[in-house]
A and B are shown apart, each in its own frame.
Chain A
Amino acid sequence: MNWPLGELKALATKATRGAGFSWSLSEETGYAAQWLESHGVTGISHLANYLRWVEANGLLVAPVDMLDGTPDAQALKCPIALGCLITDTKAVTSDASIRVSQPALFLPFLGWAAGHQAIVCKINDTAVAVCANGVDQEALKLPELSLAEASLSWRLQEAGAVPKCLTGSRASDDRASIHTLLRLADKTYAPATDASRLAGAGAGTTDND
């Protein structure tokens, strides 16, 4: 069973919230997972991996050390929180090496910051080009995208061709990851009671006419 991207986005948002993130970051994550899947990257799998890691290790601290330009080389960064900071500040180049968990989840934010130019992101020592249209299709199968933790630096390419990217309309079919996301999304739903059935939806019980 494959999923429409919009349905996946809603699921990713709820699952991230279920894992303990704020609604605001969860919504950013929904967009990021959708963007990855629409460009041939298995966003579902990367997100499920990351959320399982967060369940086991707890939420990472906010990347406040990035604000003064002297990032803490040892502090592991959340790809979502770091990604938001990069898009907010349009920090399209970082020569410093940043430790990032599940780096694939960071790529959408680089793509949004890059616009119609390209940003080349080095994941450990492997270069991956991203732009607003997606991730370089040559890089989609690189094992570096799936690392639980990697050192990243990135640089805007002010000249040269933008990468060739895939565009799709359905999400990948990774049932184990979907199961993880569904399990976490369940945490955002309130258990139903007789009272909420009657009052919460407002229709009462006599709705024939």
Chain B
Amino acid sequence: MSNSTAAHTEVALRPAHHVMRLERMGSFHQSRLSFMRVLLRRIKQQKWQFSRPIFRIDDNGVGVATYSVAGPERTYTLIAFAHDLPADKRSDRVIAEAWDSTFTLFDGIPTEDDITRLAYNVPLQEAGRISESELSLSRANRSVRLFEYVVDTLSKGMQPDTENLEDVGYLMRTTAVYGSSKFGAADRAVWADRPEFAGSFRPELLAVWLIRTFTIDMVEHLARARGGENAIAIDPDIKRCIGVGNSTGLGMAPFLLNHPRLIHTWVHAREKALAIVRGVNQVQPHQAAEFSRLLASAQRNARYWCTAHPLQIERLAQLRVDLDKFSEHLQANPLKGTQPWNTLYLWVETNLGLEAQEQIISLMVEPYGELVDHLADTMQTDESLPYAINGTMTVAELLVAVEKNYQWAINTDFSQDDTIARVWYVSAEKLEPRLGERFDEPIEPYEQPLAPGREVADMYQVLQTLPADTTVAAMLCNHDEFRGAVRRVQMLQTFPYAEVRDNTISSKMLPIDLLRCKLSFFGATRFDPRSDRWVRITMYKGAPYPDELEKFDPDVLAYFIDDAA
């Protein structure tokens, strides 16, 4: 261990029944384990090379551009198709059929034939077809508030006002970023063994980072087309304020329920990082100083964080109050003594709301990259085979396992309408996951298996009627509908963070909590819920652009923008 990191004695991980509650998961913040940040760290370390081989965009903003990134072993290319979309066609909904721009991440360097093939398919998105050579499929719409404003100001030789940029945070907003095996794209197995994609969602997030550069190139290109010699390029410091927006609806929500082993790896890594830092015996002065700087940034971020949703407004107000309260506490109680982070964390857990608790956890981990960054490599799993059920377990043993981890489910009265008010279903229209009202809509026959709590509770009732020494295999032979429930119960014995420990069909359930959790692991910021099931976010805001990676540390810039604000 280097001198810069004090010795540590790890404390216990926070228990899953404490962490895996929807309200807490819906308060998670980005951290240095977030996928965007891990990806940029790797790209910087490996000194990837960037180029823009093709930029055939006309003065109306229509055409194609390619962005290639060459790592130590392979090259990837974002192919961007720019379209002329009438304003009345612009919609973020998955039912939209046209977009301002459409993209695919190509595995290698595309030929002109590849580009021609993809030009017939990528603009169609779900209605088109891509191949094993493509790793992602996505689209983006311009920000009505910002895109034209920035083009106009640059064309007149002026820089855009940073306050306006801060309000929106992006020039374009992706409305879907599809990855492995979607619409013909390569399966995860094709690239899962590549070191540069170790972890989760790497190709998708590489594509988004390159899309960010494309959005800048587009406004500068259109400004030049309009302003000629008067036009200027956007100032690099201002440019860094601009991220890529994303509008995410329910399509993402079932993911956390459908990939329990993977979710365990994500949350476990985050909890492990917290436990490591809580176990640090002594805080070095430069680490304390770094934490104070980050806290000040987080306070500013909370002040500039805009949202129109009443629930998030309330959460934000509490976050601001809590961070100020925490700052005062920190000044009065400097990080001294044994395991000062642990002492501080315990105070936070007792005295602050969930938003602030989870924000401070992310900040506490920041100064300890050399202790925690390796955990990013554990945030993946092979899900190509089903989790093996232990059929020799007895019903008595299964009951004990249920009672240990599913009290929240077996104590829920699922005969009450409000506990089963919702139905997850897939609409025939563009196969979009949706959430309906069980007692108001004729959707129950189409219900998806996304209520593990109810399934386990139903199974629990059946188990109580069976002889204690009945094997799980025998029970399942008669009740194959409980295979999923058994698998989840057994899985939790090894993967405690695999299950969301809340009722996902309750009238009180907020889907945005599921979205926020997943997006925080991506590294998203500025969560702005537009309803209880739809959220806007910003990605890569403040991060370096490809041509800046040599100069800047992406981890420092993760909070840079808030310093500048």
Q: Interface on A for B, CB 8 Å cutoff?
A: 1, 3-7, 10, 22-25, 27-28, 31, 34-35, 62-64, 66-67, 81, 84-85, 87-90, 112, 169-170, 186, 188-193, 195-197, 199-204, 207-209
Q: Let me know if B187 and A84 touch, CB within 8 A.
A: no
Q: Which residues of A contact B90 (CB under 8 A)?
A: 208
Q: Which residues of B contact A35 (CB under 8 A)?
A: 385
Q: How far is the CB of B428 from chain A (nearest CB, A)?
A: 4
Q: Let me know if B189 and A209 touch, CB within 8 A.
A: no
Contact sample, A vs B, 10 pairs, CB 8 Å cutoff: A4-B184, A22-B480, A27-B484, A64-B477, A67-B477, A88-B476, A89-B392, A169-B132, A190-B446, A192-B428
Q: Let me know if A190 and B425 touch, CB within 8 A.
A: yes
Q: How far is the CB of B197 from chain A (nearest CB, A)?
A: 15
Q: How far is the CB of B85 from chain A (nearest CB, A)?
A: 11
Interface residues on B, range: 35 or more
Query: Given A88-B391, A201-B534, does the pair A6, B187 have CB atoms closer than 8 Å?
Result: yes
Q: Let me know if A31 and B386 touch, CB within 8 A.
A: yes
B45 interface hit (Cβ, 8 Å): no
Beyond the given A23-B484, A169-B186, please list 9 additional residue pairs across the A-B interface where CB-CB is below 8 A: A4-B181, A27-B449, A67-B473, A85-B477, A88-B476, A189-B431, A192-B429, A203-B92, A203-B531
Considering the chains assembled together, what is the distance between the CA atoms of A20 and B244 in angstroms? 43
Q: Let me know if A31 and B385 touch, CB within 8 A.
A: yes
Q: Let me know if B531 and A204 touch, CB within 8 A.
A: yes
Considering the chains assembled together, what is the distance between the CA atoms of A85 and B388 in angstroms? 11
B193 interface hit (Cβ, 8 Å): no
Which residues 150-182 in B have Cβ within 8 Å of A in the complex? 168, 173, 180-182
Q: Which residues of B contact A63 (CB under 8 A)?
A: 477
Considering the chains assembled together, what is the distance between the CA atoms of A35 and B185 in angstroms? 18
Q: Let me know if B531 and A196 touch, CB within 8 A.
A: no
> Which residue on chain A has the smallest CB distance to residue B388?
A87
Q: Which residues of B contact A34 (CB under 8 A)?
A: 384
Considering the chains assembled together, what is the distance between the CA atoms of A25 and B487 in angstroms? 12
Q: Which residues of A contact B476 (CB under 8 A)?
A: 84-85, 88
**B447-480, CB under 8 A of A: which get 1 and which 0?**
0110000000000000000000001111011101
Query: Given A62-B477, A88-B473, does the pair A207, B530 have CB atoms closer than 8 Å?
Result: yes
Q: Let me know if B144 and A209 touch, CB within 8 A.
A: yes
Query: Given A89-B391, A201-B94, does the pair A7, B481 have CB atoms closer than 8 Å?
Result: no
Q: How far is the CB of B506 from chain A (nearest CB, A)?
A: 16
Q: How far is the CB of B62 from chain A (nearest CB, A)?
A: 20
Considering the chains assembled together, what is the distance between the CA atoms of A89 and B477 in angstroms? 11
Q: How far is the CB of A117 from chain B (nearest CB, A)?
A: 16
Q: Let me know if A24 and B434 touch, CB within 8 A.
A: no
Query: Given A4-B181, A6-B188, A88-B391, does the pair A201, B478 have CB atoms closer than 8 Å?
Result: no
B441 interface hit (Cβ, 8 Å): yes
Residue of B187, B249, B390, B392 touching A201 (CB-CB under 8 A): B249
Query: Given A24-B483, A188-B446, A202-B511, does the pair A169, B428 have CB atoms closer than 8 Å?
Result: no
Considering the chains assembled together, what is the distance between the CA atoms of A133 and B188 in angstroms? 18
Q: How far is the CB of A7 from chain B (nearest CB, A)?
A: 5
Residue of A22, A88, A188, A191 touching B481 (CB-CB under 8 A): A22
Q: Let me know if A196 and B434 touch, CB within 8 A.
A: yes
**B424-449, CB under 8 A of A: which get 1 and which 0?**
01111101101111000111011011
Q: Let me know if A191 and B428 touch, CB within 8 A.
A: yes
> Which residue on chain A has the smallest CB distance to residue B481?
A22
